Chain A
Amino acid sequence: MKMVVVAGTPGSGKTSVLMHAVKDLKKAELNPALVKIDCMWTEDDIRFKRLGVPVAVGLSRDMCPDHYAIYNVDDMLQWAEDQGADILLNETAGLCLRCAPYPDKALAVCVIDVTTGPNSPLKVGPLLTTADAAVMTKGDLVSQAEREVFRERILEANSRCRIIEANGLSGKGSAELAELIRSWPDISGEMVLRHNPPLAICTLCTGELRVSKERHQGMLRHLDGFMEYSGE
Chain B
Amino acid sequence: MSQMTSPIASRIAGPITNKLTNQAANQAANQAANQAAKQAVAVNQAVNPAGKQAVSVHIITDHIVADEFARPLTLTVIGGVDKDGNADDVDEVEIMRGEIIGIVGPTGSGKSTLIADIEQFAVGDTPSGRKILINGHVPENELRTDPRKKLVAQLSQNMHFLADMSVVEFLKMHAKSRGKDPDLAEKVILLANTLTGEPINPAHQLTILSGGQSRALMTADIAVISDSPIVLIDEIENAGIKKQEALRLLSGEGKIVVVVTHDPMLALMASRRIVMKNGGMTKVISTSEEEQRVFKDIEKVDGWLTGLRETIRQGEVVA
Instruction: Decide: A170 near B127, CB < 8 A? Known: A119-B164, A145-B221.
Output: yes
Q: Are A143 and B125 in contact (CB under 8 A)?
A: no
A141 and B170 alpha carbons, distance in the complex (Å): 17
Cβ of A176 under 8 Å from chain B:
yes
| B159 interfacial contact with A, CB 8 Å | yes
The verdict on A145 contacting B126 (CB below 8 Å), with A117-B164, A140-B158, A152-B176 known, is no
The answer on a CB contact under 8 Å between A146 and B178 is no
Residue B154 at the A interface, CB < 8 A?
yes
Q: Is the CB of A152 within 8 A of B226?
A: no
- The A-contacting residues of B in range 20-35, CB under 8 angstroms, are none
Bound Cα distance A11, B161 (Å): 20
Within residues 140 to 180 of chain B, which ones have a CB less than 8 A from any CB in chain A? 145, 147, 153-156, 158-165, 170, 173-174, 176-178
Question: A66–B155 Cα gap in the complex (Å)?
Answer: 40
Q: How many A-B residue pairs have CB under 8 A?
A: 76
Q: Does A38 contact B (CB under 8 A)?
A: no
State whether the Cβ of A115 lies closer than 8 Å to any Cβ in chain B: yes
User: What residues on A are CB-neighbors of B153 within 8 Å?
Assistant: 144
- Given A143-B218, A144-B156, A148-B178, residue A175 in contact with residue B161 (CB < 8 A): no
Give the docked Cα–Cα distance between A171 and B145 (Å): 16
A-chain residues with CB within 8 Å of residue B165 when the two chains form the complex: 118-119
A142 at the interface (CB under 8 A from B): yes
- Enumerate chain A residues within 8 angstroms of B190, measured Cβ to Cβ: none
With known contacts A144-B153, A151-B147, A172-B120, A117–B162 Cβ distance under 8 A? yes
Taken together as a complex, chains A and B put the C-alpha atoms of A223 and B114 apart, in Å, by: 52
A143–B222 CA distance with the chains assembled, in angstroms: 11
Contact between chains at A148 and B127 (CB < 8 Å): no
Q: How large is the interface on A (under 10, 10 to 19, 20 to 34, 35 or more residues)?
A: 20 to 34
Query: Nearest chain B CB to A51's CB is how many angstroms away?
Result: 17
| B239 touches A (CB below 8 Å) | no
Chain B residues with CB below 8 A from A145, complex form: 170, 174, 218, 221, 225-226
Given contacts A149-B174, A165-B120, A176-B125, contact A142 B147 (CB under 8 A): no
- Interface residues in A66-84 by Cβ distance below 8 A to B read none
Q: Are A146 and B162 in contact (CB under 8 A)?
A: yes
The answer to whether A170 touches B126, judged by C-beta atoms less than 8 angstroms apart, is yes
Q: Which residues of A in the span 152-177 have a Cβ within 8 Å of any Cβ on B? A: 152-153, 163, 165, 170-172, 174-176
Instruction: Report if A172-B173 is in contact (Cβ < 8 Å); known contacts: A149-B163, A165-B120.
Output: no
| A152 neighbours in B (Cβ, 8 Å) | 147, 173, 176-177
The answer, yes or no, to whether B184 is at the interface (CB within 8 Å) is no
- Tell me which of A140, A146, A148, A171 contacts B126 (CB under 8 A): A171
- Is B93 part of the contact surface with A, judged by Cβ < 8 Å? no
Q: Which residues of A contact B147 (CB under 8 A)?
A: 148, 151-152
Q: Which residues of chain A (106-156) have a CB below 8 Å from chain B? A: 114-119, 140-146, 148-149, 151-153
Q: Which chain A residues border B119 with CB–CB below 8 Å? A: 144
Q: Name the residue among A118, A140, A145, A149 with the largest chain B CB count within 10 angstroms.
A: A145
B162/A171 in contact, CB under 8 A? no
CB proximity of A205 to chain B, nearest CB, Å: 34
Measured between alpha carbons, how far is A176 from B173 in the docked complex, in Å?
A: 27
Chain A residue at smallest Cβ distance from B207: A117
Contacts of A175 in B (CB 8 A): 125
- Docked Cα-Cα span, A153 to B173, in Å, equals 9
In the complex, the answer to whether A143 meets B156 with C-beta atoms within 8 Å is yes
A114 to B156, CA, bound (A): 16
Report which of A117, A144, A149, A151 forms a contact with B154, defined as CB distance below 8 A.
A144
Q: Which of A142, A153, A176 contacts B161 (CB 8 A)?
A: A142
Asked if residues A118 and B173 are in contact (CB atoms below 8 Å), the reply is yes
Q: Kindly report which residue of chain B lies nearest to residue A115, judged by CB atoms.
A: B162
Chain B nearest Cβ from A42, distance in angstroms: 27
In the complex, A113 Cα to B147 Cα: how many Å? Answer: 19
Instruction: Report yes or no: B116 in contact with A140, Cβ–Cβ below 8 A.
Output: yes
Please, how many angstroms separate the alpha-carbon atoms of A141 and B112 in the complex?
13
Shortest CB distance A100–B (Å): 24
Complex: A172 Cα to B214 Cα, angstroms: 26
* Residue picked from B116, B125, B164, most chain A C-beta under 10 Å: B125
Bound Cα distance A146, B174 (Å):
8
CA distance A72 to B290 in the complex (A): 72
Minimum CB distance partner of A167 in chain B? B116
- Bound complex: CA A140 to CA B127 (Å): 15
A143 close to B176 (CB less than 8 A): no
| Chain B min CB distance to A164 (Å) | 8
Look across to chain A and name the residue whose beta carbon is closest to the beta carbon of B150. A148
Q: Check if A141 sits within 8 Å of B177, measured CB to CB.
A: no
> Would A149 and B156 count as touching, CB distance under 8 A?
no
Q: Please list 5 pairs of residues, one from A and one from B, whose beta carbons are closer than 8 Å in the complex, sorted by A's number.
A: A118-B173, A142-B162, A145-B221, A148-B178, A172-B125
* In the complex, the 5 A-B pairs of residues with the closest C-beta atoms, listed nearest first: A152-B177, A175-B125, A144-B154, A148-B147, A148-B177
CB within 8 Å of B: which residues of A? 114-119, 140-146, 148-149, 151-153, 163, 165, 170-172, 174-176
Q: A114-B162, A143-B156 are in contact. List 4 more A-B contacts (CB 8 A).
A: A140-B116, A142-B162, A171-B126, A172-B116
